[in-house]
């Protein structure tokens, strides 16, 4: 019987190890492994863990999606995929302290792909058709990648679209193509933006900032291509530049020499400064430079400073007496996303929006992420042979009639990410992580079972023999 107890204890221990091991693997992603993003729902989970590491696996269309204000402190790897039509990004409740040229401080709100980015890294994200537009009461900055940035690296990103901030009762506000306010290393980015900043409060003087890269702050800028169309209407002090509205060391004790090099800029800023004590800062690179702790080298400019003196009408990209738009839908072609172009027949002004995802060339073979069962649909993933985008498709759940193997639906030929499967895609990242101990543990369990069975058989035989001997003895007696 002692042997039985030992074997039983062994089995119980093995089972416990196996079960606990599996639970741990299912619930905790491997430390340092990025969370893979396949859908809008996946992207929205960043809000729940803003310190996490994320990797974009395909293009995401945020058209009409209420995008939350996120204070991001993690890593975001875009892999060169698009985030399309970010057009409903919320302004943060959270504030950070900004200061003007006199170091006067303001509790300020922010919006962008990330409202606030601190000690973060954001690489390879292509924001196409971004349309940030806010009418804000108070102090606020908008930026394509981040409204506010601190100690953050932004590399190989693209910002194409429009950012507009109309402010009432603000004293400190502005817009930037990449970041609104703060400091960051911004490297090898492509920016093609229309920036509009309108001061609605004619009674009070304010500090207003606009820049192709950054509204105000201390960014390092290297290897960027900037195309800016800027519009500022201000009843206060304008600080505007092709790259940075006001170049100022931020934070105050930031003891580091900055650099601005190897950038190419073209564009214009149209503005008025309605102020008896006019400064009207508008320069191709930096509107106003407060600190000189940076080196500037190898930048090229094709910039137009366009100051207006009519303070009665706010300056906007389209100021047409008789707007009459004609819309043309351009379908996505190959890796080029689609879009709708709106052209005014009266004046020729045009803009693009409603971008659509590229038509990916999907591989013929696919990975089954989760097998379909009678109870639940499965999940298959296809890879684009051109750009490496990974698109996930639902495998329909099995019918109760006996079908030995599951077959996924054919590859989507329109290349569009299927949103319907987004709920299933969420957890699938965990599902494909099989405990490597599983086969070993199964083998051990099998051997232990066999030993146990043999023991039982031997034990029974022994008992039978004993009984037989006893019977014989009884007969003899
Ligand atoms: Zn027009
Ligand atoms: Zn592709």
Cα 267 to ligand 1 centre (Å): 20
Residue 473's pLDDT is 61
Say if pTM beats, i.e. exceeds, 0.85.
no
> How many residues would you count in the chain?
477
Cα 369 to ligand 2 centre (Å): 20
In a domain, 167, yes or no: yes
- Is there a single domain that holds both residue 78 and residue 10? no
Q: Please, which residues have CB less than 5 A from ligand 1, an ion? A: 320, 323, 344, 346-347, 349
Ligand nearest to the CA of 417: 2
Q: How confident is the model at residue 21 (pLDDT cuts 50, 70, 90)?
A: very low
- Is there a single domain that holds both residue 257 and residue 125? yes
In a domain, 338, yes or no: no
> Three-class SS of residue 287?
strand
Q: What is the pLDDT of residues 422-432, one digit of tens each?
A: 343 333 434 44
- Is there a single domain that holds both residue 139 and residue 282? yes
**Domain residues for 393?**
360-431
Average the pLDDT over 103-132 and give the result: 98
Q: What is the pLDDT of residues 374-417, one digit of tens each?
A: 999 999 999 999 999 999 999 999 988 765 555 555 555 444 44
Cα 57 to ligand 2 centre (Å): 11
Residue 257's pLDDT is 82
- Decide if 303 contacts 271 (C-beta within 8 A): no
- Is there a single domain that holds both residue 297 and residue 442? no
- Is there a single domain that holds both residue 424 and residue 462? no
Is the pLDDT higher at 386 or at 464? 386
In a domain, 415, yes or no: yes
Buried/exposed code over 433-445 (b: 16+ C-beta within 10 A; e: otherwise): eeeeeeeebeebe
Cα 81 to ligand 2 centre (Å): 9
The enclosing domain of 285 has a CATH number of 2.160.20
- Is there a single domain that holds both residue 165 and residue 140? yes
Buried/exposed code over 82-95 (b: 16+ C-beta within 10 A; e: otherwise): bbbbbbebebbeeb
In a domain, 339, yes or no: no
- Is there a single domain that holds both residue 424 and residue 440? no
pLDDT at 4 over 60: no
Cα 176 to ligand 2 centre (Å): 30
- Is there a single domain that holds both residue 134 and residue 10? no
Cα 338 to ligand 2 centre (Å): 13
For strands 378-383 and 367-370, give the pairing: antiparallel
In a domain, 48, yes or no: yes
Q: What is the pLDDT of residues 343-364, one digit of tens each?
A: 999 999 999 999 999 999 999 8
Which structure tokens are listed for 80?
């060169």
58: number of Cβ within 10 Å: 27
- Is there a single domain that holds both residue 13 and residue 89? no
Q: What is the pLDDT of residues 198-227, one digit of tens each?
A: 999 999 999 999 999 999 999 999 999 999
Residue 403's pLDDT is 54
In a domain, 25, yes or no: no
pLDDT at 466 over 80: no
- Is there a single domain that holds both residue 427 and residue 454? no
In a domain, 274, yes or no: yes
Ligand nearest to the CA of 80: 2
- Is there a single domain that holds both residue 202 and residue 229? yes
Residue 294's pLDDT is 76
State the average pLDDT for the chain. 86
Q: What is the pLDDT of residues 172-186, one digit of tens each?
A: 999 999 999 999 999
Tell me how many domains the chain contains: 3
């Amino acid at each position: 019987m002692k042997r039985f107890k030992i074997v039983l204890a062994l089995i119980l221990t093995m089972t416990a190890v196996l079960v606990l091991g599996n639970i741990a693997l299912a619930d905790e992603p491997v430390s340092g492994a990025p969370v893979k993003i396949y859908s809008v729902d996946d992207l929205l989970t960043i809000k729940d863990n803003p310190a996490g590491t994320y990797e974009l696996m395909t293009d995401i269309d945020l058209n009409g999606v209420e995008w939350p204000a996120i204070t991001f402190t993690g890593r975001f790897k875009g892999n060169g995929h698009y985030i399309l039509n970010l057009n409903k990004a919320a302004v943060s409740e959270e504030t950070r302290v900004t200061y003007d040229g006199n170091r006067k401080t303001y509790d300020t709100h922010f919006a962008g792909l990330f409202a606030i980015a601190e000690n973060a890294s954001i690489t390879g994200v292509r924001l196409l058709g971004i349309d940030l537009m806010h009418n804000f009461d108070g102090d606020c900055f908008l930026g394509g990648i981040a409204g506010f940035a601190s100690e953050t690296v932004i590399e190989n990103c693209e910002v194409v679209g429009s950012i507009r901030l109309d402010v009432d009762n603000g004293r400190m506000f502005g817009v930037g193509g990449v970041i609104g306010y703060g400091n960051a290393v911004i490297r090898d980015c492509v920016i093609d933006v229309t920036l509009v900043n309108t001061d609605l409060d004619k009674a009070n003087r304010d500090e207003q900032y606009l820049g192709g890269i950054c509204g105000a702050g201390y960014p390092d800028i290297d290897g960027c291509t900037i195309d800016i169309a800027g519009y500022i209407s201000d009843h206060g002090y304008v600080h505007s530049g092709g790259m940075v509205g006001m170049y100022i060391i931020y934070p105050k004790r930031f003891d580091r020499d900055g650099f601005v090099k190897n950038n190419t800029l073209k564009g214009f800023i149209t503005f008025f400064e309605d102020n008896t004590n006019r400064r009207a800062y508008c320069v191709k690179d930096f509107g106003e430079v407060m600190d000189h702790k940076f080196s500037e080298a190898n930048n090229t400019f094709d910039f137009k400073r366009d100051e207006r003196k009519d303070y009665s009408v706010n300056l906007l990209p389209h100021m047409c007496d008789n707007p009459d738009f004609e819309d043309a839908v351009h379908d996505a072609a190959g890796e080029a996303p689609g879009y709708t172009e709106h052209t005014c027949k009266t004046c020729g002004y045009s803009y693009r929006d409603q971008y659509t995802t590229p038509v990916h060339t999907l591989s013929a073979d696919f990975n089954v992420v989760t097998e379909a069962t009678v109870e639940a649909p499965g999940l298959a993933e296809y890879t684009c042979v051109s750009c490496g985008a990974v698109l996930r498709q639902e495998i329909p759940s099995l019918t109760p009639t006996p079908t030995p193997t599951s077959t996924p639906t054919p590859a989507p030929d329109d290349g569009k990410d299927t949103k319907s499967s987004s709920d299933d895609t969420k957890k699938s990242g965990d599902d494909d992580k099989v405990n490597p101990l599983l086969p070993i543990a199964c083998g051990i369990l099998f051997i232990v079972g066999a030993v146990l069975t043999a023991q039982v058989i031997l034990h029974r035989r022994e008992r039978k023999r004993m009984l037989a001997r006893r019977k014989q003895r009884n007969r003899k007696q």
